Amino acid sequence: MTTAAVLTAAGSGTRLGRAVPKALVELDGVPLVVRAALGLALARCLELVVVTVPPHEVRGFQALFPGGVVPGTRLAARIVPGGATRQASVAAGLAALPGDVDVVLVHDAARCLAPAALVRSVEAAVRQGHRAVVPALPVTDTIKAVGPADSSGAEPVTATMDRGALRAVQTPQGFDRTLLEAAHAAGAARAADEAVAASDDAGLVEALGEPVWVVPGHERAMKITTPRDIALAHLLVADTATR
Ligand SMILES: Nc1ccn([C@@H]2O[C@H](COP(=O)(O)OP(=O)(O)OP(=O)(O)O)[C@@H](O)[C@H]2O)c(=O)n1
Ligand SMILES: C[C@](O)(CO)[C@H](O)COP(=O)(O)O
């Protein structure tokens, strides 16, 4: 029984708008990818983290994990080139896992403040028999579905969703390895094109018709996407430092 993580860090971070790939952006002096890997290591339930990185940046990322471990820990880290979409990057990470791994957590470097306790709760839920597990929070906005925009750009509302039945999904997402590999194999034709690629791994499992289970998420597992998110992440880090 061995758990490993695929840590996705191959994105460019277009919406963040920095000169370097988003995972290399520093938060209080520590690159996002290293922070995310430390959160995984602190959970103490993993044997390995496979980090998917931009193909032209493999050496730069390797230098962040000297000796092939997450800095200051014993967690082994393996760097592999990612793909054109997040789905393709996860598939590349899965292909690099050793044979003895039976549970896989898929985590975004962009969710670098996800607490170790969240990692543990997702892993434990998979070990308890839920073969696909996502952490999620209730939705606080009212969510409306819309149709095509008119000539002015305004979109007609087609429905108001039942907010009580909606959840905003985070990472790490946890899976039985056999199920996750089957889901990626079945959805492989979508991986090359961002327009049709799965936005999360649980979506590929759902497409197989297999159940996916939700456990409570955490505010600190927020995704850093825009400059506003980085500002919020700085506040969260400062809040931790003053406790
Ligand atoms: N081809 C890709 C695209 C994304 N990711 C990773 O998937 C996570 C979620 O993606 P997102 O936050 O959208 O990151 P980017 O794709 O970098 O952002 P943007 O769309 O603004 O360019 C990130 O950790 C990102 O590095 C990846 O591994 N491979
Ligand atoms: C996987 C994810 O973080 C779950 O919310 C999210 O779907 C990633 O989406 P992105 O558009 O690739 O950032």
- State the pTM of this model: 0.97
Task: Identify the structural domains of the chain with CATH numbers, from first to last.
Answer: 2-135+167-241 (3.90.550.10)
Cα(95)–Cα(130) distance, rounded to whole angstroms? 23
C-alpha distance from residue 206 to each of 150, 160, 183, 203, 241 (Å): 33, 23, 8, 5, 39
**Cα angle 165-90-133, degrees, rounded to a multiple of 5:** 35
Cα(26)–Cα(239) distance, rounded to whole angstroms? 17
Q: What is the mean pLDDT of residues 197-224?
A: 98
Measured by CA distance, the residue closest to atom 14 of ligand 1 is 11
128-163 per-residue burial string, b: 16 or more CB within 10 A, e: under 16: eebbbbbbbbeeeeeeeeeeeeeeeeeeeeeeeeee
Cα(188)–Cα(169) distance, rounded to whole angstroms? 22
Residue 243 has pLDDT above 80, yes or no: no
In this prediction, residue 239 carries a pLDDT of: 86
171 lines ligand 2 (CB under 6 A): yes
Residue 12 has pLDDT above 70, yes or no: yes
Measured by CA distance, the residue closest to atom 3 of ligand 2 is 170
Q: Which of 14, 16, 86 has most ligand 2 atoms within 8 Å of its beta carbon, as the pocket-test mutant?
A: 86
Which atom number of ligand 2 is nearest to the Cα of residue 111?
3
**Helix extents (H) in the chain:** 32-42, 58-62, 86-95, 116-127, 177-186, 201-207, 227-241
Query: Which tops the pLDDT comparison, 241 or 70?
Result: 70
- ipTM higher than threshold 0.90: yes
For the stretch 24-82, pLDDT in tens is: 999 999 999 999 999 999 999 999 999 999 999 999 999 999 999 999 999 999 999 99
**Cα angle 45-46-51, degrees, rounded to a multiple of 5:** 145
Cα(76)–Cα(40) distance, rounded to whole angstroms? 11
Q: What is the mean pLDDT of residues 93-101?
A: 98
For the stretch 102-127, pLDDT in tens is: 999 999 999 999 999 999 999 999 99
Mean model confidence pLDDT for the chain: 97
In this prediction, residue 240 carries a pLDDT of: 81
- Taking the centre of ligand 1 as the mean of its atom positions, its distance from the CA of residue 131, in whole angstroms, is 25
86 lines ligand 2 (CB under 6 A): yes
Closest ligand to 173 CA? 2
